Chain A
């Protein structure tokens, strides 16, 4: 089974979720991602969901889990590209994804990651 490709963008990793996720694929992604963070010493992960027209609690949990795992590996996660209809539905569903940083798109996401890296260089407690 082919996993979701993980791209390297400098010190960060970019994952673009385009297909309908299911259990196996999600497990595979978490595996691949945590391995990649460790191996490439990545400082940040961008999860691009601009192609998703729906996010349910399963995918929401997956995103939260990835964020948690990344944090333990000392990398920050930014979720980018959520569609308006999806945001409205998630809020109604009761999911607010606390602890997951967000940005409008990949570019903004990278800016956010770079900024937080700069800040934590100055003050390590600010991660």
Chain B
């Protein structure tokens, strides 16, 4: 598996979230994703970017364009050094709420992507990695 392109974007303000969405949209388009798949990836990115900003106190988005044999995909990693999530299992079930969330952020985003991975340590931060293949 080889990485063709990659980059990093800050998630330190509402405006950053907007920029991140636009960047993900461009990436998905360049990889030739169908309109529905583009929308799914951008929406997942919006959810996760918002999480990193609002609950994580600000963070970073790392993106990569992937090429695995014939398959092409986009991998997004959302990092923050916020309070972390104490009960991951709970957070991943529908309807869980903390703060102002609708409680759908993580579980919903998971359904929109092909691969979903999350690591979180209380007091240290959270890392969510999602991948969508063409």
Residues of A within 8 A of B (CB): 20, 22-24, 53-58, 60-61, 84-86, 88-89, 92-95
On chain B, the residues within 8 Å of A58 by CB distance are: 46, 50
Q: Is B11 an interface residue (CB 8 A)?
A: no
Judging by beta carbons under 8 Å apart, are A85 and B18 in contact? no
Residues of B within 8 A of A (CB): 14-15, 17-18, 21, 25, 35-36, 38-40, 42-43, 46-47, 50, 94, 101-102, 104-105, 107-109, 111-112
On chain A, the residues within 8 Å of B46 by CB distance are: 54, 56, 58
- Cα of A95 to Cα of B104 in the assembled complex, Å: 8
- Cα of A84 to Cα of B34 in the assembled complex, Å: 13
Judging by beta carbons under 8 Å apart, are B104 and A93 in contact? yes
- Cα of A95 to Cα of B101 in the assembled complex, Å: 13
Q: With A22-B14, A88-B36 given, can you name 6 additional A-B contacts, CB distance below 8 Å?
A: A55-B43, A57-B108, A60-B102, A93-B43, A93-B47, A93-B108
| A85 with B102, Cβ < 8 A, contacts A23-B14, A54-B21, A57-B47 known | no
Shortest CB-to-CB span from B93 to chain A, Å, is: 11
